[in-house]
Structure 1
Amino acid sequence: MNLLHKTLALAATALALQAQAAPYQAIVPAKSSVTFSYKQMGVAVDGRFKKFAAQVNFDPAKAEAGKASFDVELASVDAGSSEADDEVVTKSWFNAAAFPKASFVAKQFKPTAPNQYEVTGSLTIKGQTREVKFPMKHTAQGKDGVLSGSFILKRGDFNIGEGMWAKFDVVANDIQVNFSLTAQPGK
């Protein structure tokens, strides 16, 4: 192999590595999920949100410079039955008519291990904003990547379940929120 071929091969390799290092700038909703689980009268219940959107600029190699915001349409909830879906959007629970979205804005991505990060940000639900911190994992899938993690939401902190639902004897205060977001580099 002559010098020209070696130089071209090296340049092609560098370009390929550079292309893989492009920051993620889009979420693919069809390949992503936001789910939750909690206990109602001691029985585990699972649910999910069908509609959400994100704005992201995240490079795993430069995580500290990452930015992300995430909105979930609360009326898109699937709580396991149509009766539960209808109830959870009412004023006592999400009050989706007055507060149609839950929003998360990341303030910091801190590397903790290879492909693992601690994310800190502000979560707003029903007009209540609280800081949340959770672990997030990055798994490369070709040029795409999966950003996944989970955290415990205390529903009482956000007035989710007011009036007769304010106590935690029927519906637990701890809600496990899980996410798996397929991210793509910018075009």
Structure 2
Amino acid sequence: MRRASLLLLSFFVVYSVQSQTTWKADPAHSFIQFEVSHLAISTVTGKFTEFSCELEARKNSFEDAKVVAKVNVASISTENLTRDKHLKEDDFFNAKEFPQMSFVSDSFKKVTDDQYEITGTLTIRDVSKIITFPATYSGMITMGDKTISAFKANFIINRFDYKLKWDDTLDTGSLIVGEDVTVELNLELVKK
């Protein structure tokens, strides 16, 4: 009986490992962008050019998938070298002391055919907070020997919650750089 139980347990362990599928973001066809208000009348946009995102799923529907994303903070680009240098300093990201941002999912729920709700821990600098945001599934195709799927997502964070603390103001009292940052994700994932 004990031997049969061990064999059955081994089968389930092997089956669950074999049925796990890994998807990796294609950096040439994926992006992480952000937008924040500037001078209370316009916006500044930027992006991170170096990042990784890996998704593990047991089903092609991606229900209960696990996501791990890592971003190289020093890869920030707003197309302005002076501003980028400031963003890497302690007023904002402090890239030297905190070189990486990360997101690790706790929940990946299918809401409709193409809508998901993702919950997980976002870490910026030394602050980790749980966030929940919607994601849109764009579909899946096969090209040659590659299977590709894609997701898009948007969410807003308050930069002060993550110690991005620069708070200079205009004469009107408005912040030069707004506190709310809109993050936009476009991920093209290749099945491994």
TM-score, normalised on structure 1? 0.81
Letter paired with 1:160? L
Q: Does the 8 Å contact 2:167/2:177 carry over to 1? A: no
Q: Following superposition of structure 1 onto structure 2, how do residues 12-161 of structure 1 map, counting pairs within 5 Å?
A: 23-42=21-40, 43-58=42-57, 59-64=59-64, 66-142=65-141, 143-161=147-165
What is the rounded CA distance, in whole Å, between the counterparts of 1:168 and 1:124 in structure 2? 27
**In the alignment, what sits opposite 2:185?**
179
| Offset of residue 168 of structure 1 | 6.2
**Deviation of residue 121 (structure 1)?**
0.3
Please, which moves more after superposition, 33-42 or 154-163?
A: 154-163
Q: Alignment partner of 1:113: what SS?
A: coil
Runs of 4+ more than 3 Å apart: 21-24, 162-165
- Asked whether the 8 Å contact 2:167–2:175 carries over to 1, the reply is no
Identity %: 25
RMSD: 2.0
Tell me how far apart the structure 1 counterparts of residues 188 and 167 of structure 2 sit (CA, whole Å). 38
Question: By how many angstroms is 1:147 displaced?
Answer: 1.2
In structure 2, relative to structure 1, the CA distance for the partners of 1:163 and 1:149 (3 Å cut) is: closer
1:153 Cα deviation (Å)?
1.1
Question: How many residues are treated as equivalent by the alignment?
Answer: 164
Amino acid at match of 2:61: A
* C-alpha spacing 1:24/1:184, structure 2 compared with 1 (3 Å): farther
In 2, distance between residues paired with 1:139 and 1:98?
Answer: 37
TM-score of the two chains, using structure 2 as the length reference: 0.79
Amino acid at match of 1:181: L
SS of 2:96 mapped into structure 1: coil
Does the Cα contact within 8 Å between 2:168 and 2:176 map onto a contact in 1? no
* Per-residue deviation, 1:163: 6.4
State the shift of 1:55 in Å. 2.2
What residue number does 1:14 align with?
A: none
Could you tell me whether the CA contact under 8 Å between 2:93 and 2:164 is conserved in 1?
yes
Asked if 1 retains the 8 angstrom alpha-carbon contact of 2:27 and 2:51, the reply is yes
Shift of 1:22: 8.3
Instruction: For residue 177 of structure 2, give the secondary structure of its aligned residue in structure 1.
Output: coil
Answer with 139-148 or 87-96: which moved more. Answer: 139-148
The equivalent residue for 2:8 is: none
* 8 Å contact from structure 2 (residues 32, 184) kept in 1: yes
Residue 136 of structure 1: CA displacement?
A: 0.7
Q: Which runs of 5+ in 1 are unaligned?
A: 1-20
Letter in 2 for 1:154: N
Summarize deviations over 1:148-168 as a string: whole Å, max 9, x none.
101001101001124658x96
